[in-house]
Amino acid sequence: MEMVEDRKKMHRQKKTEGMVTRKRMNGRTERKRKVFFWNVTGLKNRRRPFLIVQGTDVTGQKHPNNYFITIMHCIKGLIGTGIYAMGSAFSSSGMLLGPVSAVFVWFLSLHCQHILIKACVKITDKEPVEVLPSFAETVEYTMEDSSSNWIKKLSRGSGIVTDVFLLIAQYGYCVVYLVFVSRHIGEIAAAHGWEQNYRVILVIVLIPMWISALLGNLKLLLPFSMIANIVMWIGIVCILYYSVQDLPDISERDLVSHAERLPVFFGIILFAFAGITFIIPVRSEMKNPESFTKLFGELNMAMFVALIFSVLVGILAFWKWGDDVEGSAFLNLPQEDVLAQVTKILISISVMFTYTLHMYVPFEILYPRFNRRFGPFKYPVLAMYLYRSAAVLMTYAMANISSNIALFIALVGAGAGAVLNLLFPALLDLAMGYGELTVVVIIKDVFIIILAFAGGITGTVLSIIDIINEFE
């Protein structure tokens, strides 16, 4: 009997331990769900716990990246459709003014990226956390912790404002990608005797991009994303190859031209150097994150590579085609050339996958809010598909207005890029060192803020006017 009682007691004890274990596991699972929810939505009424240990993913598994892998990740985020528009940017500034201004904007962008990382590190030093906060959280928390009362007042809603501009940028990228692919597919079709209106091609291109956006499976898309990045580099080599063939006399190109178009140039350059949104997560996955912002650190090296290739493509494309250079230099390549056609096809396919990846980000931010406001839905999967379809159709409606790639790039760069890349970091610098900053630093930050406002507003207005004129 005693043995039976002992067995029963042991059984009850194991059962209790199992229930406690399951309860703990469920608790951890629930916390992970909450963590993931706060991470992807940015919704918060209070500070959320930071989620990922440096050098780990959401599951806590370590995957620290070394020096060269981190540089490649940064370059991957910097090199995109913006670099193909550099020739158009230089046509709005000139052979001398273009490169000089590009280096100046590049330096400001790099400096502002350093400020953002500094703000993130300062937050983690003040409150021991597991991971660097997001961009929006960095803006909100830094301004909230400032010793200035007026900056503290600005902190209310600053995280939401940051997320809004991030969404504008993401949807803007998607519009650029739609126009980009449609123009290139149209060129290929015309080369084979099937010449169609831009808007007809746009509808044809929309269908596969719409389907891929509905699927939204990142695990499926990531391998294609890696291939797309390789294709992007092939595209750069192709442009450089064609642009150096039979170059005209350099005296035919103005050193300073179309000064009134500098705000458009400003927008394109900001679009090309828009790396501020991904530097925080890239740094969090490093083996030695403290080296990220050093003189020869990963950030500086990646930005330097992006600068060299951007300026090189811009100079050669403008030198080769002058004011006739398109918003994508691929559109200036000979239509009948097989190499040019193959490259256009590869680039178009790679940008299609990039469209899906960029569409995924705003969906993860907005859909939980939409679901909380109007849900729960009787058919949640259908509701999700309809919501994604509405987002895709919104980008289609914008792309339908004009086929000018450069104008859309300038609009996104000036409209959202100036705020994200220049304005917010300068405000963070003032917030962090309020009362301790030197006069030189204050003048520098105020100058960046004024430049962000002036360049952003004028670039946005000029781009919108040009887009409307083309539409009419």
Per-residue pLDDT tens listing for the chain (472 residues): 445 455 555 555 544 544 444 444 344 334 333 333 333 333 333 344 333 333 444 334 455 777 888 888 788 888 888 899 999 999 989 899 999 999 999 999 999 999 999 988 888 877 766 666 888 888 898 888 888 888 888 888 888 899 899 999 989 999 999 999 999 998 888 888 787 788 899 999 999 888 888 876 666 666 777 787 788 888 999 999 999 988 899 888 888 887 788 899 999 999 998 878 788 888 878 888 888 888 888 889 999 999 999 999 999 999 999 888 998 899 999 888 888 889 889 888 888 888 887 887 788 778 888 888 887 888 888 888 888 899 899 999 999 988 889 999 999 999 899 999 999 999 999 998 887 888 999 999 999 999 999 999 999 999 999 888 877 6
Within 10 angstroms of residue 451's Cβ, the number of other Cβ atoms is 18
pLDDT at 176 (0 to 100): 93
**How many angstroms separate the CA atoms of 455 and 263, rounded?**
6
Identify whether the C-beta of residue 119 lies closer than 8 Å to the C-beta of residue 162: no
The domain made up of 79-471 is a member of CATH 1.10.10: no
- Residue 60 zone, left/alpha/beta (φ > 0; ψ -120 to 50; rest): left
Bridge-partner residues for 56, per DSSP? 62
Q: Where are the domains of the chain?
A: 79-471
Nearest to 113 by CA among 332, 351, 273: 273
The residue type at 25: M
Q: What is the token pair recorded at 100?
A: 């000089």
Identify whether the C-beta of residue 117 lies closer than 8 Å to the C-beta of residue 292: yes
Q: Which long-range contacts (CB under 8 A, 24 or more apart) does 137-145 make?
A: 137/42, 137/47, 137/48, 138/280, 138/428, 139/424, 139/427, 139/428, 141/47, 142/428, 142/431, 142/432, 143/427, 143/428, 143/431, 145/431
